[in-house]
Structure formats: C-alpha cells, structure tokens
Amino acid sequence: MREGMFRNPSGCAISGIFSKSGKRFSGRQIIESIAVMHERSNGLGGGFAAYGIYPEFKDHYAFHIFYDDIYAKRECEEFLEDHFDIVSFSQIPTRKLPEIKDTPLIWRYFLAPLPAKLADSQQDEGEYVIRCVFRINTGIKGAYVFSSGKNMGVFKAVGFPEDVGRFYRLEEYEGYCFTAHGRYPTNTPGWWGGAHPFALLDFSVVHNGEISSYDANRRTIEMYGYKCTLQTDTEVITYIIDYLHRKQGLDLKEICSVIAAPFWSVIATRPQKEREELEYLRCVFDTLLINGPFSIIVGFEGGMMALNDRLKLRSMVVGEKDDMVYVASEEAAIRVIQKDLDRVWSPKGGEGVIVTLEKGSA
C-alpha cells in the first residue's frame, strides 16, 4: 500500500520560522520546535521545507527525488537528461539512525529546462517543470519527485519529525525560512512520498486537519489539469494555491479570500469595493473553498503564510521577535526556541498571516 491508493485522514503538528530580514539561520531551531509537539504525531511521517538553502544554485530548479531502486533512478535520469540541463547532482547527505528505516535512494538535482524543449512545449517555464514532475511521478515506477523549487528544498520521511530532521542533517543547512510537519495519520502507509510537506515548484504546504470539502476541491482542481495521485488534503491544497497564484494571478491575500472565504454575512458588512471583490472571488472559485478544519503554513520564495479554516477548528499561534516570525500548532513550540516574544497571538479563522522578506534583504 502507498499513499494515493486510499484516503488517509491525519491529525498533525506544524511549525514555521521566518526571518523578515533574510538572515539565514540553521535548521536546528525548527527541529527543536517540532520536537516539542512529539505527541501530536505518531511516527508515521515528518518533514521540513527550507528556503534560501541553495544560494549557489538559486536560479536552478532543485529536484529532490526518492527512488525505490537503481532501475527507477536510471529511467528517471534518462528523462531528466532529455528535458533539462543537469547542472549538478548528488545523493542527499543523511545520517544513519535506528529510528529511520526502509530508506529509499534519495537524490538531488539542480536543473535548467532545455531551451529547445521548453520552446517546443509552448508552455511557460513553471508549467513545463510541473508537467515534467507529474510525468515522473505518474509514469516512472519507483521514482517520486518530492521537491522541485528554486533555492528551496523539502526533506521528509516516515518517522517522528525530530528524527527526520536529524536524519537529513538539517542543522547543516542555513536558510531564511523553515517549516515543519509531524504527522498523525489514521492509516499506516509507510511510504516516504506520503509524508509532508507537499511541494510544487517553490510552494510548499504543511497542513494540520482533515478537510470535508476534499472531493469537491479535488474534482474541481483536476478539471484544470492537476492529478491528485496521493489523495491527501495537503496535495489538493497545494494544487489549489498553485492554480490560484500561478494560473489565475491572485495574490496571497486574495487566495485566502477564496480558500477560507469570509461568510456571506461578513462580506455584506464590508465597504462596497471590497464587498464586490469578495463576492466575485467567492462566486467564481466557489468549489475551491476549503471546508472543515485546517491550519496550514505555506512556504514560498521570499515569504511564508499561515492560515486557519474560517471557523478556526485547528489551533495555530503566531509569535514575533524583532525580525523573526514564528508559527506553530502550539505556543510551546515557539517558546522553546524563543522565550522572549514581542508579540504572540492566535490569528482568527480565515485571517491569513503573510510575511515576506523586507526590501533589499537576501
């Protein structure tokens, strides 16, 4: 059994750290933070997304790929060579740990689309890369691309998140943003690709919740060419954000008004201009409203967004200290790495907290 063959609801812990000044810091803190919420996961999945970690290859797509075996690797590399200029590649460094078992082959590639192929495809670069990712993940047995953005990377495995962090030697990476996920699935798939974060290009999502609108969302987003192969909430949320952002050109605030749309009664109280816009977004993208409990942290190039469902059916706390912003399922997970916060609050349901790098930083 692997993810995608059945629907697997999960409870979870999430955490995120962001430096607005773009100051790079080590992955040690995020491990400490997520470790506090150990009992919110059950050892069946943990992972991290890290931004700003590959400055030397910041213009190249960094693919992180799981291979079941050497044959899958060979077939996949042939595909990569056909479609990309492979600037650099290596095994992702890991540390042998008794807690982390059944390790697949884990490789990293820095890629640039082949200009001729890209032109032939008549797609923009992002779409080209995404289609390549879909083709590998659905067409090459035993190969799974789990990270495909620029100057960022996802690290995930089956295990408790703190062990996953140590396994990937996350403390050796430096970035301006880290997010983390500890998973409490109700089933036991035991497949690494099913762990979170889920990422597409530079967007990564960690999510705590079980959405009740799943099939309405899935069937809508699949109409626009996405394939929900994992049957997880995180996957469909990531696709929705990608669709609204990359294909519809919505900004993050607008995306929040779609996926955690205000109630009609609230919309009615807003000033005319805003009301019209909110009505419009809710009407046009009605089946992309994400219903049921969720808290998510979305990482992207130069920023981070935290969002709760509109009823706030999952806990989520935000803290600030100087240029640092912290988000976690529980305040304790922030306090463990920063005791002295300037401000700490619990954002309202549907109220997106969006932080971006200050101008001139990084």
Partner 1 sequence: MAAFDIYPEYEIVRNNERCTNCRVCEKQCANGAHIFLTDKNRMAADDDKCVNCHRCVAMCPVRALKIVKTNHTFRENLYWTGKSIKEIKRQAESGGVLLSSMGNPETYPVYFDKILLNASQVTNPSIDPLREPMETRVYLGSKPDKVVRDEKGRIKIDLPLHIKLSMPVMLSAMSYGSISYNAHESLARAAAEAGIMYNTGEGGLHEDLYRYGKNTIVQVASGRFGVHSRYLSNGAAIEIKMGQGAKPGIGGHLPGSKIVGDISKTRMIPEGSDAISPAPHHDIYSIEDLSQLVYSLKEATGYTKPIIVKIAAVHNVAAIASGIARSGADIIAIDGFRGGTGAAPARIRDHVGIPIELALASVDKRLRDEGIRNRVSIVAGGGIRSSADVVKAIALGADCVYIGTAALIALGCHMCRSCHTGKCNWGIATQREDLVKRLNPDWGYKRLVNLLNAWKHEIMEMMGGMGINAIESLRGNRLMLRGVGLNEKELEILGIKHAGE
12 is catalytic: yes
277 binds partner 1 (CB under 8 A): yes
The single residue among 86, 97, 313, 354 that binds partner 1, judged by CB under 8 A, is 313
The phi, psi pair for 62, rounded to 5°, reads -95, 110
> Binders of partner 1: how many residues, by CB under 8 A?
44
287 binds partner 1 (CB under 8 A): yes
- Binding part of the chain for partner 1, among 40-48, 99-107, 205-213, 319-327 by CB under 8 A, reads 205-213
Q: Beta strands 324-328 and 317-321: pairing type?
A: antiparallel
- DSSP-H helix ranges across 57-205: 70-83, 115-121, 125-139, 161-167
Q: Considering beta carbons, is residue 112 or 313 the nearer one to partner 1?
A: 313
**Interhelix angle for 233-242 vs 252-259, to 10°?**
130
286 binds partner 1 (CB under 8 A): yes
Q: How far is the CB of 37 from partner 1 (least distance, A)?
A: 18
Q: Can you list the pairs that 135-140 forms with residues at least 24 positions away whose Cβ atoms lie under 8 Å?
A: 135/79, 136/65, 136/76, 136/79, 137/229, 138/227, 138/229, 140/72, 140/75, 140/76, 140/79
The single residue among 33, 147, 234, 291 that binds partner 1, judged by CB under 8 A, is 291
Round to whole Å and give the CA distance between 104 and 271. Answer: 54
Is the four-CA dihedral 27, 32, 38, 40 of positive or negative sign?
negative
The phi, psi pair for 310, rounded to 5°, reads -70, -15
Query: Of 12, 76, 177, 228, which is the active-site residue?
Result: 12
292 binds partner 1 (CB under 8 A): yes
Round to whole Å and give the CA distance between 99 and 166. Answer: 10
75 binds partner 1 (CB under 8 A): no
- Binding part of the chain for partner 1, among 77-85, 86-94, 145-153, 217-225 by CB under 8 A, reads 217-225
188 binds partner 1 (CB under 8 A): no
Each residue 244-263 as x (binds partner 1 by CB under 8 A) or -, in order, gives ----xxx---x------x-x
Q: Can you list the pairs that 98-101 forms with residues at least 24 positions away whose Cβ atoms lie under 8 Å?
A: 99/159, 99/160, 99/163, 99/167, 100/157, 100/158, 100/159, 100/163, 100/164, 100/167, 101/158
What is the chain's length?
362
- Binding part of the chain for partner 1, among 148-156, 166-174, 305-313, 331-339 by CB under 8 A, reads 305-313
Q: Which two tokens stand for residue 281?
A: 């977004």
7 binds partner 1 (CB under 8 A): yes
- Binding part of the chain for partner 1, among 79-87, 135-143, 144-152, 203-211 by CB under 8 A, reads 203-211
The single residue among 2, 9, 25, 356 that binds partner 1, judged by CB under 8 A, is 9
141 binds partner 1 (CB under 8 A): no
Q: How far is the CB of 4 from partner 1 (least distance, A)?
A: 15
Q: How far is the CB of 211 from partner 1 (least distance, A)?
A: 8
The single residue among 137, 148, 213, 329 that binds partner 1, judged by CB under 8 A, is 213
- Cis-peptide, bond into residue 347, ω within 30° of zero: no
223 binds partner 1 (CB under 8 A): yes
List active site positions.
Answer: 12
Q: Which residues bind partner 1 (CB under 8 A)?
A: 7, 9-11, 186, 209-217, 219-220, 222-224, 248-250, 254, 261, 263-265, 276-277, 279-281, 283-284, 286-287, 289-293, 310-311, 313
